[in-house]
Amino acid sequence: MSQTDSLVEEVVEKNPQEKHLSDYRPSDYTISTIDLVFDLFDEKTKVQAISQVERVSESVTPLFLFGEALTLTSLLVDGVNFTDYQLVEDGIVINNLPASFKLEINTEIDPVKNQAFEGLYKSGSAFCTQCEAEGFRRITYYLDRPDVLAKFSTKVIADKSLYPFLLSNGNQVDQGDLENGRHFVSWVDPFPKPAYLFALVAGDFDVLEDNFVTKSGRDVKLALFVDKGNLDKTQHAMVSLKKSMKWDEERFNLEYDLDIYMVVAVDFFNMGAMENKGLNIFNSKYVLANPQSATDQDYLGIEAVIGHEYFHNWTGNRITCRDWFQLSLKEGLTVFRDQEFSSDLGSRSVNRIANVMTLRDHQFAEDAGPMSHPIRPESVMEMNNFYTLTVYEKGSEVIRMMHTLLGEEKFQQGMQLYVERFDGQAVTCDDFVAAMQDASGVDLSLFKRWYSQSGTPQVFVTDHYNSDSQTYQLTFKQKTLPTANQKKKLPLHIPVDIELLDVNGNSIELAPGKTNRVLSLTQKEQTFVFEKITTRPVPCLFRGFSAPVKYQYSYTDEQLLDIMSFATDEFSRWDAGQSLFNKYLIQNVKALNAGKEMTVPIIFIDGFKSILVSETLDPSLISDMFTFTSENGARELFDQVDVDAINKVRGFMLNEISTQLHELFVDTYLRHNQLKAYQPDIDDIAKRKLKNLALSFIARVDKELADKYVTEQIASCNNMTDHLGALNAANIGLLPCRATVMQDFDDKWFENGLVMDKWFVLQASMPSDDVLSHIESLFEHRSFDFNNPNRLRSLVGAFAQTNSYRFHNIDGSGYKFLTDQLIKLNSQNPQVASRLITPLIQFNRLDAARIKLMKAELNRLLALPDLAVDLYEKVTKALAQ
């Protein structure tokens, strides 16, 4: 080997290589069954895996099985010891195998040392697993890829006194006692599944049991397993599960298929939850709730996540992904389904607004950053980096656009055909679109570009009204800017849901009995003509956010106020208010940079005054109308981002609103501060939401009155929502009582990690110049655990994501702080590190000084000799901008 060849090999080995969708090839082997036996011990868990393997390729090729952090103790083929294999860095290569054989692999693993929380690990005193995306290879050597589906049986053996509950996928078929105080439980999952859906849990829990009778009359046992002492916090999760099962039968005609459905809550978990077949493992924050420890948003979040994981039973489990590039096949579709579930059970407009806030504040930035990718990516280095807002949230928007184009009836016909065609298979996004197209008769060939094109489309809208012919024209031009991974962009099929308002604010009929119309924008430039329009209308564009785009139309203030007051679509009302706020935010940034005075006109104040005093609008919608663009979202309004100016202008505008409407905020607070017994129902949630929003605005300009209200509310409240609402106001206004009420909360709740996460978020988001030194001191707090992903997200993640101005301090201290934590996490939990790094890599529109500082920290990471591939991918792509 030449010196050059040696160097190339060294570089290839050091620098992870991208995997490409175009390189997909079916496996040369398949596995029809796998029988697992786990003998659980903290340091030396023994795993026996017996698989029935078939070669499907015509040529005799070696069998490669993935494996990581495993100790191989024996390997047998058809019951005979087999030695013709090589252990390699990421698995094992087995040579000279017959066409069909039984493979037995025995391994040992160390769950206690597994701080990555992938594969089998200890969460507190319990064993649990996380196998998506590629965690099963930390359990045994296996074809750990989603297109290999096998029927799993699992026998779990453990100390009975320590681990009385031994759980796995499917239905329980056997149990019994063994010698030395040990026992076993056996499970069989009758449905073929990929290894990423495998799950195992062993521990001692409190259990809430219930049942659900399916529409065909099958009685399904339901069980929630939680840490001892938390049984009183499980009822809402169980109610949410039963609602999910009923809703999926009624809306999608999908029925549960096993005899038991189990949910286990664990404290140490990298994700929100995992849909393992029949045994969902959840981050405890999405299971545990009672009025004293959980907020209204916690209740709603639990309902949504419980629903999401249950809905995966069909859209993800029974039909799964052929490869990880197809991740949005299951996640985008299931996010759409959980959003529809929440909307059907609660307020459709409020849920829609929350979803769009996430897109505008975070996903749009991802689309414009170094990790920009289509919802079906073309390449990746680390599969865990696929779990993005683009794949999930934008993926659900693509499904929603299909629903908009097809309508509910044809969409459901498409879903039925999809299930009939592909049940028990691993398929692609193209397969899903084909089912929708075949069932509906709607041509989706152009629409499929949404799956392969990255970036957020921009739509520029102009109009023309001809009073003589009484015709109104809307002209749309679409453009998608080049992104990190794609330079050339093509026109997309964009559904534009519109409503036209006349001079009196009434909706104009656009078809018999219909006041809205969905336009199909399919060209780079396209004009639509409306006839018999007697006066110049005000267009409500992209009703319900009918497409994930940025759109521009030169609205006057009066037109925006008309939409805020009269649009039949409540999302459009909210969106008009956001547009009005953003319009003056942009103008004031320009004024500030020009040395001119910042202003907010009276028409602006009067418009929001009319919203605040409305007796017809839902209080939750009123609250959303006053929840304006975050600093992160505001950055998406500018080609060049001025961090300091955005912070100053946004603060000025919020203070102006607080000052001008002070008396109304006080009145609103007092009127909605009358609730007695806590109920997490939709009406009471809306009233608490508006009351606490009003309190936050009072805290901005009247510290004495706010201080009084905060202390009184904390003293008298009977629920966590109002307690956190008061703390949030104290935090926003840096009120005199802040230190006392924060310490009192700490003293009361320091032993409850999930509650303290809320406290850490407040500390991290404190609008104070010394917040960073305060955060660093909290690493020594009695409730903080650097090894717990929830604690890290609540303190480190909240600072970097929500305290944007101070994270981007021009001295670079925020960047250095985050990088220091990433270095610690690099070898311990790179998956969490990869999630936390996001604010450090989205710098392409910042000023030169900040870009230089951020790149310096990224280079510090790149210099690490053992930089994990999760971080390496993001760091190198960011530095390549």
Euclidean distance between CA atoms 639 and 653, whole angstroms: 21
| Domain over 349-452 is classified CATH 3.40.228.10 | no
Q: How far is CA 804 from the centre of its chain?
A: 20
219-226 sheet: strands from edge to edge: 206-213, 219-226, 260-266, 279-283, 273-274
Instruction: Please give the share of the chain, as a percent, with pLDDT higher than 70.
Output: 98
Arithmetic mean of pLDDT, 743-762: 98
* Confidence bin at 12 (pLDDT 50/70/90): very low
| pLDDT reading at 180 higher than 50 | yes
Q: Which residue has the tokens 């044809």?
A: 410
Average pLDDT across the chain, whole number: 96
Measure Cα distances from 15 to 8, 427, 729, 872, 873 in Å: 10, 31, 48, 8, 9
* Predicted local distance difference test score (pLDDT) of residue 13: 44
Instruction: Please give the share of the chain, as a percent, with pLDDT higher than 90.
Output: 97
DSSP conformation class of 215: T
777-815, pLDDT tens digit by residue?
Answer: 999 999 999 999 999 999 999 999 999 999 999 999 999
498-520, pLDDT tens digit by residue?
Answer: 999 999 999 999 999 999 999 99
Catalytic annotation, pick one of 118, 134, 309, 366: 309
213-224, pLDDT tens digit by residue?
Answer: 999 999 999 999
* Predicted local distance difference test score (pLDDT) of residue 676: 83
- The full DSSP string for 591-638 is HHHTTPPP---HHHHHHHHHHHT-SSS-HHHHHHHT----HHHHHTT-
686-719, pLDDT tens digit by residue?
Answer: 999 999 999 999 999 999 999 999 999 999 999 9
Does the pTM surpass 0.95? The reply is yes
- Topology match between the domains 349-452 and 458-554: no
φ, ψ of residue 50 to 5 degrees: the values are -115, 115
Closest of 230, 341, 348, 332 to residue 284, by C-alpha: 230
> Nearest 5°: CA angle at 127, between 124 and 131?
115
621-675, pLDDT tens digit by residue?
Answer: 999 999 999 999 999 999 999 999 999 999 999 999 999 999 999 999 999 998 7
159-173, pLDDT tens digit by residue?
Answer: 999 999 999 999 999
* Predicted local distance difference test score (pLDDT) of residue 3: 34
Token pair, residue 828, equals: 């311990």
* Predicted local distance difference test score (pLDDT) of residue 53: 98
Encoded amino acid at 603, one letter: I
Side-chain half-sphere CA neighbours of 646 within 13 A? 24
Arithmetic mean of pLDDT, 383-389: 94
Name the CATH superfamily for 29-204. tricorn interacting facor f3 domain (2.60.40.1730)
Are the CB atoms for 567 and 576 separated by under 8 Å?
yes
Are the CB atoms for 455 and 496 separated by under 8 Å?
no
Token pair, residue 294, equals: 């959980």
Arithmetic mean of pLDDT, 133-156: 98
29-84, pLDDT tens digit by residue?
Answer: 999 999 999 999 999 999 999 999 999 999 999 999 999 999 999 999 999 999 99
| pLDDT reading at 6 higher than 50 | no
Arithmetic mean of pLDDT, 2-24: 60
| pLDDT reading at 10 higher than 50 | no
| pLDDT reading at 9 higher than 50 | no
Look up the CATH number of domain 205-313: 3.30.2010.30
* Confidence bin at 16 (pLDDT 50/70/90): confident
* Predicted local distance difference test score (pLDDT) of residue 840: 98
My answer on whether omega of the bond before 133 falls inside 30° of 0, hence cis, is: yes
Q: How many residues does the chain have?
A: 881
| pLDDT reading at 4 higher than 60 | no
| pLDDT reading at 273 higher than 50 | yes
* Predicted local distance difference test score (pLDDT) of residue 485: 85
Query: Is position 10 annotated as part of the catalytic site?
Result: no
| pLDDT reading at 465 higher than 80 | yes
Are the CB atoms for 520 and 328 separated by under 8 Å?
no
Look up the CATH number of domain 458-554: 2.60.40.1840
Side-chain half-sphere CA neighbours of 539 within 13 A? 26
89-121, pLDDT tens digit by residue?
Answer: 999 999 999 999 999 999 999 999 999 999 999
Domain residues of the chain, as ranges? Answer: 29-204, 205-313, 349-452, 458-554
| pLDDT reading at 11 higher than 50 | no
| pLDDT reading at 2 higher than 70 | no
* Confidence bin at 5 (pLDDT 50/70/90): very low
